[in-house]
Structure 1
């Protein structure tokens, strides 16, 4: 770069990452939805004048960031940069042009300098409600899943486009939260843009073209070097998901070559009539994340580093559905893809990789009140209307040299929402939240434990859950001789079983128990260190029976 030293170039790169992290933190601090404010279910990034991602925030989820990396190009196709004005802000929640389902809203803001756009800030948050039927797995078309906002101007030269905001607010159950989240997206992008202009002033930059070129060149070179350090070859792996009415088989073939990694999902099952289908943008996001975690985790995410991992899926397969397929629960299969890709890479000579994780989040989406739960009208007459979403997780797979993490989200990285927060904003009470003994897959390294939630209405009224869970029939598998993690389960406190997917009512006076899966184990359980088994026993993570029969531990 002309006029800048090598050190200054690297500093600029780090400063840009800091800028987008401040953008993300502004989102967290101002968001209305608990999914953003408490769980960090968001993304933030800065893009060059051509719509290529230069840097992404550390705070955020791969499904949002890696799919949003494509989104800005769609915005520019609809509104070319020459038609934009200083103060404009654009919005969409189109699943095929955004991040995979209607509940994710993407906002893009151009940053002007000397009368021309020099960069774009983009951000995404998950909103609790976007209208329609809510988040039911039973949806048969995307039209049932809520309001779709095509790529549109949300702010026109500094003035909010009120008719659009009013239209969106009129179609959702909590218009205050929705409006607040849109304002937080605008504020986050504005924060990033303000800091970027200060940075450009500091270094006397008129454009980011040369900075972006440096970042892209270094990122691609580092990524290719990491890929070439692995043996070339081709490996295939498969994962079975629970599905709704029947299991779903996902197949991946991963090829390592001189110029990158190719991941192809040929052989994967066709689309489902239920809302577990995945738009390709989400497939690409999580598949590339799975490969990057293993091959080049230290290289920052940007357009160049992501371009070294190429993803394809047959058009019309469940991982590349066309409109108007139902997609609201695309997280179920999409978040299984890193485990599927890691299963391919685990066959590469020289790589020793973790066991499978619980993977898909267990989003606890609860509703109650008149018209929101199937129950006699008389029992709901004085019930508080509510819809609330909180995120919780099972365990991660054991690593080659360390146990898995308990109640921790992988691959999404979304945090568990504190139960006290959910109780504060809805008439529900959590009676129990604890680890499930023996749910971690046995191994020389034990899988992370799942957790159980016990939930009831604080008003002793009927309520409902929109269940969109997996790993109940096909638990996470172990690796290198490790055993599977515990399967997930939904049940009422009287023993009545529920299914892992679908809108289901919890009668008045009953409690709902959600038992989340544990991660798979790694290595032969009989080779686990005896002192660690004793610690697990003392902590209640492993039962005395499992210690004896599975680990061969007789006590000391």
Structure 2
């Protein structure tokens, strides 16, 4: 009996590994077939497999926690409208509803049933960030979600393998980039189909009639392991606070994290109220990044699924900027929402300081750029274009390692190659380099931000829909480490512009962005002198700062 149990456990582990391979192939097919550079180049997506109760078994390694963890909730909403027993082979369901999906209209979520021998056996879901869904575009200017773009309820985009042409007519008519948008929908459906095909092959190989037993094994093991990790955190209530630049006024995020033996509960009482602009955060997105921040510290090695996230609960007051109700504007919910892992780490630093990073630049610097007649009218020197480029400042220092330079945390997206953006839009990147003296000093220093200079071809007029943060509120260091450099937004002649909102870059001028650096960790005087000398030699730390902050000779 013991031998049979051991053999079954080995087989389950093999099946688990195969499942990860299935969902990772699902994600990679999306990247290879996507039309939008946000997916193809930055990897701003998620992919996963769910049981027929809407519980996530496994996610692809590729993808962002904001997408994955909020998509985990969204499949249940699909099942409420289209129960599993009503689904047919070849069906694909879609939405971009911020409150049923992943937080704003620019994310498409597609759910697809998988069938084996005529019986539904599971669900595949994915999410991708697309370039344009009409409206005001991706920016904070909207005063309600209805201004922010085309609103797609949960509908069928394919019915038994046949395209819903009415649906595709609507989305083509509602977007400035109709070809890319339609192509991305086909890509999302194709990658789910590939996942379903691989799942059936796996089930055939292991003679599985259902994935239910495997799901319960995954859930039981994940929950048990997560609870064991929670038990290593000292019980108590830990409080933290972090500030965002906001739009009309600064935003304060407050958290009281209570660690118990079998759960971690975060109460956001005291957090700033709702904004009139699109920096509000739907509750699912708040839960997504809060859970991610906790999990990075408490249980980073345990697979991310329904059971491993179940012990983490959020209490988000009504009227709070982290619990935006419909139809509040939410287009750039990431600007506030991506600060939440730093807030979670601020709480956990009081309990397990040796596991926690300093604060980083956090929110992506992903300026949507627009040009042509829609900006300059009849005098336009450029063809119409709409593009988003993903970039990041430095991450916070780690307890034993420096922060990462120009790297996205917590989103995990890739920085987009400037060549890819220049290839699809009439823009030129005149600078894209690490920013000297931007890293917070410390025993381990923060990661460096970047300097970016962007112009249009022929130095023509264009527009930016600014979505920047960490300009008035620099990333904080910990344990005596220095703060990272705050961001800066303006033109190449030194003129500052607003950090949020639609603004014109006049003819002859370039957009200049100085991205924030990450905070440092520990006393800078304790830093290895050889590392300080290396940073000076590399042009990352000036000699003046080396002497003033590190005491270098």
User: 1:433 is matched with which residue?
Assistant: 432
Q: Which runs of 5+ in 2 are unaligned?
A: none
SS of match in other structure, 1:268: coil
- Distance of 1:217 and 1:40 partners within structure 2: 31
What CA deviation, in whole Å up to 9, does each residue of 1:446-466 have, x standing for no partner? 100000111111132100000
| Alignment of structure 1 residues 99-178 onto 2, 5 Å | 99-178=102-181
CA RMSD of aligned residues (A): 1.2
SS of match in other structure, 2:550: coil
Aligned residues of 1:379 and 1:461 also touching (Cα < 8 A): no
Aligned residues of 2:49 and 2:125 also touching (Cα < 8 A): yes
- Distance of 1:3 and 1:81 partners within structure 2: 34
The reply on whether 1:309 has 2:305 as its aligned counterpart is no
Deviation at 1:328, TM superposition (A): 0.1
What CA deviation, in whole Å up to 9, does each residue of 1:371-424 have, x standing for no partner? 2x2x4x4531x4211000110000000011111000000000010000001111
- Distance of 2:6 and 2:156 partners within structure 1: 38
Q: Which runs of 5+ in 1 are unaligned?
A: none
User: 1:410 is matched with which residue?
Assistant: 409
Aligned residues of 1:104 and 1:124 also touching (Cα < 8 A): yes
- Normalized against structure 1, the TM-score is what? 0.98
| Alignment of structure 1 residues 389-408 onto 2, 5 Å | 389-408=388-407
**C-alpha distance 3-210 of structure 1, shift in aligned 2 (>3 A):** farther
User: 1:270 is matched with which residue?
Assistant: 273
**C-alpha distance 26-246 of structure 1, shift in aligned 2 (>3 A):** same
Aligned residues of 1:223 and 1:305 also touching (Cα < 8 A): yes
| Alignment of structure 1 residues 342-491 onto 2, 5 Å | 342-349=345-352, 351-371=354-374, 373=375, 375=376, 377-380=377-380, 382-491=381-490
Aligned residues of 1:379 and 1:462 also touching (Cα < 8 A): no
Deviation at 1:527, TM superposition (A): 1.1
SS of match in other structure, 1:392: coil
- Distance of 1:41 and 1:82 partners within structure 2: 31
- Distance of 2:477 and 2:6 partners within structure 1: 54
User: 1:325 is matched with which residue?
Assistant: 328
| Alignment of structure 1 residues 140-289 onto 2, 5 Å | 140-289=143-292
Deviation at 1:255, TM superposition (A): 1.0
- Distance of 1:114 and 1:228 partners within structure 2: 44
Deviation at 1:165, TM superposition (A): 1.0
Deviation at 1:114, TM superposition (A): 3.3
Aligned residues of 2:139 and 2:368 also touching (Cα < 8 A): no
SS of match in other structure, 1:432: strand
- Distance of 1:91 and 1:166 partners within structure 2: 15
- Normalized against structure 2, the TM-score is what? 0.98
Aligned residues of 1:427 and 1:459 also touching (Cα < 8 A): no
What CA deviation, in whole Å up to 9, does each residue of 1:97-141 have, x standing for no partner? 100000000000001123321100000000000010112311100
SS of match in other structure, 2:373: coil
- Distance of 1:228 and 1:480 partners within structure 2: 25
> Which of these residues, 273, 298, 303, is aligned with residue 300 of structure 1?
303
**C-alpha distance 298-424 of structure 1, shift in aligned 2 (>3 A):** same
SS of match in other structure, 1:94: coil
User: 1:52 is matched with which residue?
Assistant: 55
SS of match in other structure, 2:541: coil
**C-alpha distance 75-2 of structure 1, shift in aligned 2 (>3 A):** farther
Deviation at 1:316, TM superposition (A): 2.0
SS of match in other structure, 1:237: strand
Aligned residues of 1:368 and 1:463 also touching (Cα < 8 A): yes
- Distance of 1:59 and 1:400 partners within structure 2: 26
258-267 vs 294-303, which moves further: 258-267
Aligned residues of 2:373 and 2:379 also touching (Cα < 8 A): no
**C-alpha distance 356-492 of structure 1, shift in aligned 2 (>3 A):** same
- Distance of 2:524 and 2:382 partners within structure 1: 50
- Distance of 2:314 and 2:327 partners within structure 1: 22
- Distance of 1:460 and 1:531 partners within structure 2: 43
The reply on whether 1:511 has 2:514 as its aligned counterpart is no
User: 2:530 is matched with which residue?
Assistant: 531
| Alignment of structure 1 residues 487-506 onto 2, 5 Å | 487-506=486-505
How many residue pairs match? The answer is 550
Deviation at 1:324, TM superposition (A): 0.4
SS of match in other structure, 1:442: coil
466-475 vs 489-498, which moves further: 489-498
**C-alpha distance 266-471 of structure 1, shift in aligned 2 (>3 A):** same
- Distance of 1:483 and 1:499 partners within structure 2: 26
SS of match in other structure, 2:389: strand
SS of match in other structure, 1:391: coil
